[in-house]
């Protein structure tokens, strides 16, 4: 959706950057063979650009052309309502925001703030779900589960869970829902493969315990649909009950305390499952341990000289 993809792309890019944390954390040191100067572009930056440019952006344009009302959250009633500059900007941001998310995550990682980079991923998905669940008028989920403007206009002013489930089922079998399912068959396996490859190859290179692919994918899904979506639903409920002015700060405090707070928040616990260099078990004094309790190799100890590696390069 036009209003959603700017946040979604950012979350995707930040996710790729975070997954490559082991590769990126020493990227600001020196070039190959100890030579300073320009370094080769990170292969993970290239992967982000290719994924956003060759898969994510085309899928958005496809949906905008095929279902302009749904893709604009029932704002546009057809192609004639879409100015050319908006379509071009939509395609551009599907790539640029992904690269921005990656770069923000990379800058945080090279400063040793891997958990903050992980939260950038969550911020992108939280923004996406806030629009899908609540939107600008409290009817975001109704706009999402309406294949077209006619179906959106038929929503009753008040309804129960049964009405919501019925309309969600109708939407899933509509051309919009079936098209999204078909796109997911392509986009999701590639996304998971890149995330798993980045994390596992980095763990091998660092001599850390290597997570299983199923654990990485499961943790990612838990972070997206458990934490980000759950926080969006909670925020929407509080805004509905208390109004924008009171509900928003209350939701922010609750999400901070229950989800974001380091050490005790749910997000920090989920982050620890990924086994990244800043994960909870790897924190401590100078003789830090890798996630899982294994000591850091001498080459990675704080007193050692920086490794000679290019930005994110993966050794054979």
Domain ranges of the chain: 2-211
Rounded distance between C-alpha atoms, residue 65 and residue 86, angstroms: 13
Query: To which residue do tokens 């974001």 refer?
Result: 260
pLDDT of residue 293: 40
Cβ-contact 300, 290 below 8 angstroms: no
Q: Smallest Cα–Cα separation from 139: which of 76, 199, 75?
A: 75
Cβ-contact 240, 232 below 8 angstroms: no
Query: To which residue do tokens 């082991």 refer?
Result: 22
Rounded distance between C-alpha atoms, residue 268 and residue 97, angstroms: 25
Could you tell me the mean pLDDT of each successive run of 10 residues in the chain, 316 residues long? Answer: 96 98 74 53 93 97 96 93 94 98 96 96 97 95 95 91 94 97 97 98 93 97 97 97 95 96 94 86 43 40 44 41
Rounded distance between C-alpha atoms, residue 202 and residue 290, angstroms: 12
Cβ-contact 2, 64 below 8 angstroms: yes
Phi, psi of 110 (to 5 degrees): -65, -15
Element (H, E) at 239: helix 229-242
Q: Smallest Cα–Cα separation from 19: which of 47, 60, 54, 58?
A: 47
Rounded distance between C-alpha atoms, residue 197 and residue 188, angstroms: 14
pLDDT of residue 38: 57
292 by Cβ neighbours in 10 Å (0-12 / 13-18 / 19+) ranks as: middle
Instruction: Indicate the angle between helix axes 175-206 and 161-172, nearest 10 degrees.
Output: 90
Please give the C-alpha separations between residue 92 and each of 9, 86, 95, in angstroms, as whole numbers: 11, 10, 6
Strand (E) positions, 45-178? none
pLDDT of residue 280: 64
Rounded distance between C-alpha atoms, residue 231 and residue 268, angstroms: 15
pTM for this prediction = 0.84
Please tell me whether residue 28 adopts helix, strand or coil conformation.
coil
Please give the DSSP secondary-structure letter assigned to residue 313: -
Please tell me whether residue 225 adopts helix, strand or coil conformation.
helix
pLDDT of residue 202: 94
Q: Smallest Cα–Cα separation from 17: which of 113, 126, 117, 125?
A: 117
Cβ-contact 27, 127 below 8 angstroms: no
Cβ-contact 310, 39 below 8 angstroms: yes
User: Beta partners for 263?
Assistant: none
Please give the DSSP secondary-structure letter assigned to residue 299: G
Rounded distance between C-alpha atoms, residue 2 and residue 93, angstroms: 10
């Amino acid at each position: 959706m036009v209003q959603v993809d700017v946040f979604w792309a950012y979350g995707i890019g930040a996710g790729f950057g975070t997954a490559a944390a082991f590769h990126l954390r020493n990227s600001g040191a020196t070039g190959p063979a100890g030579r300073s100067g320009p370094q080769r572009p990170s292969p993970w930056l290239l992967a982000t650009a290719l994924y956003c440019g060759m898969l994510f952006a085309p899928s958005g344009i496809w949906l905008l052309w095929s279902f302009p009302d749904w893709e604009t959250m029932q704002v546009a009633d057809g192609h004639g309502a879409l100015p050319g500059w908006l379509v071009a900007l939509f395609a551009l941001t599907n790539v640029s925001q992904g690269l921005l998310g990656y770069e923000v995550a990379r800058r945080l990682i090279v400063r040793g703030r891997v958990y903050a980079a992980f939260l950038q991923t969550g911020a992108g998905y939280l923004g996406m779900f806030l629009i899908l669940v609540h939107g600008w008028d409290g009817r975001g989920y109704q706009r999402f589960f309406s294949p077209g403007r006619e179906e959106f206009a038929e929503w009753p002013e008040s309804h129960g869970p049964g009405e919501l489930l019925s309309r969600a089922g109708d939407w899933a079998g509509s051309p919009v829902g079936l098209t999204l399912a078909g796109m997911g068959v392509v986009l999701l396996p590639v996304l998971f493969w890149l995330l798993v490859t980045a994390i596992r190859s980095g763990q091998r290179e660092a001599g850390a315990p290597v997570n299983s692919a199923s654990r990485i994918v499961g943790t990612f899904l838990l972070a997206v649909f458990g934490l980000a979506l759950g926080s969006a639903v909670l925020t929407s409920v509080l805004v509905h009950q208390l109004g924008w002015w009171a509900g928003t700060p209350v939701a922010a405090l609750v999400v901070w305390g229950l989800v974001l707070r380091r050490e005790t928040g749910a997000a920090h616990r989920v982050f620890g499952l990924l086994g990244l260099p800043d994960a909870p078990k790897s924190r401590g004094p100078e003789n830090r341990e890798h996630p899982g309790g294994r000591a850091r190799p001498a080459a990675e100890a704080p007193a050692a000289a920086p490794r000679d590696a290019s930005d994110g390069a993966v050794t054979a």
